[in-house]
Amino acid sequence: MTETTSGRAHLIAGGFPPGSSAGHDHDHARLRLLGLLAERDIPASVANDFADIEKWLPVSGLLITYVAGPYPNAAQCGALRSWMEAGGHWLGLHGTSGGRAERVEGVRNRRTVKTEHHALLGSYFLTHPPLCRFRVDVRDTDHPVTQGLGVSFEVEDEPYFIELQDPGSTRILLTADYGPGAVSPTIGTLYASDTSLQADGKTRVLGYTRDVGRGGVTYFALGHCHNPASRAGRPSDSTDMTPATLRGPWETDAFMALLRNAIAWRMS
């Protein structure tokens, strides 16, 4: 693939199976992301999954993904890697670190299946405790993506547990210590141990960047949003106080600044 110099972006936002919200308001995220691209007059193409990615990568300098279920297969990962090595940049958000999930006998929850795209993205989603408000610590205040954020900010979001795939090649930007109340029954059942914990046994990575050839990946675990339609069909739980509509990070200045910074960094 020739060197990527395009000023275009390609946005993938959608759930699985096709047409499903998979618990997220993809329309809201899609509109907000397109709005951020429009602020910089960046033309964009849009898709719901990775099916036609090999058509759009060669004419795009930036790929943004906000997905809950869709993930690139081996061939599409090969195209993604070649594109990044030539200078393309992948901005992955929230459920991008997930993907295919498998049933485990005797357990209600499903386990994320580790595939080629996790190695390329640089992280693998394990689980998350219930949505809550927590502090995000800006680990690297010198990076262009974190400019203007200060040393920390608060957000209401799903507290993601992600396992870094190649820590040595990863520049950590954001971390969080969710505290002792952030526990998940899937650790020890679906997953033998909590491999999202850093060496101090308390913090977890929520944002990073890593080089891939002349391009690379930036990933933020933040980004949950839902509406009543995306939560339809959930089992009834009288103790669940989650609001029917939640925008969380999308109404947080720091998260929007992160997105603006990440787009500007790779498209300027």
Q: Is the peptide bond before 17 cis (omega within 30 degrees of 0)?
A: yes
Percent of the chain with pLDDT over 90: 87
Angle at the Cα of 231 (from 64 to 185), degrees rounded to 5?
A: 85
Mean predicted lDDT score pLDDT of the chain? 94
**Nearest Cα residue to 198 out of 210, 206, 209:** 206
Cβ pair 226, 232 in contact under 8 A: no
pLDDT confidence of residue 106: 86
Q: What is the mean pLDDT of residues 39-66?
A: 97
Our measurement of the distance from residue 251's CA atom to the centroid of its chain's CA atoms, rounded to an integer in Å, reads 17
pLDDT confidence of residue 98: 98
pLDDT confidence of residue 4: 54
Q: What is the mean pLDDT of residues 131-151?
A: 97
**Nearest Cα residue to 220 out of 230, 210, 208, 228:** 208
pLDDT confidence of residue 1: 46
Helix residue ranges, H only, the chain: 26-39, 53-56, 74-85, 116-121, 228-231, 253-267
Angle at the Cα of 33 (from 83 to 229), degrees rounded to 5?
A: 115
Residue with tokens 């992160």, as numbered in its chain: 258
Q: What is the mean pLDDT of residues 50-68?
A: 97
Q: What is the mean pLDDT of residues 121-129?
A: 97
Cβ pair 134, 178 in contact under 8 A: yes
Query: What would the pLDDT profile of 196-248 be if each residue is shown by its tens digit?
Result: 999 999 999 999 999 999 999 999 999 999 999 988 766 656 566 788 899 99
Q: What number of residues does the chain have?
A: 268
pLDDT confidence of residue 235: 63
Distance CA 27, CA 20 (A): 12
- In sign, the C-alpha dihedral spanning 182, 188, 191, 197 is positive
pLDDT above 80: residue 104: yes
pLDDT band at 268 (very low <50, low <70, confident <90, very high): confident
pLDDT above 50: residue 45: yes
At 126, the amino acid letter reads L
pLDDT above 50: residue 145: yes
Q: What is the mean pLDDT of residues 174-203?
A: 94
Lowest mean pLDDT among 101-115, 119-133, 212-226: 101-115
Cβ pair 64, 11 in contact under 8 A: yes
pLDDT confidence of residue 236: 55
Take residue 37 and report the two structure tokens written for it: 């691209």
Q: What is the mean pLDDT of residues 116-127?
A: 98
- Which domains does the chain possess? 9-267 (3.40.50.880)
Q: What is the mean pLDDT of residues 181-200?
A: 94
Take residue 129 and report the two structure tokens written for it: 């405790």
Of residues 5 and 231, which shows the higher confidence score?
A: 231
pLDDT confidence of residue 171: 98
Kindly tell me the burial class for residue 194, based on how many C-beta atoms sit within 10 Å of its own C-beta (0-12, 13-18, 19 or more): middle
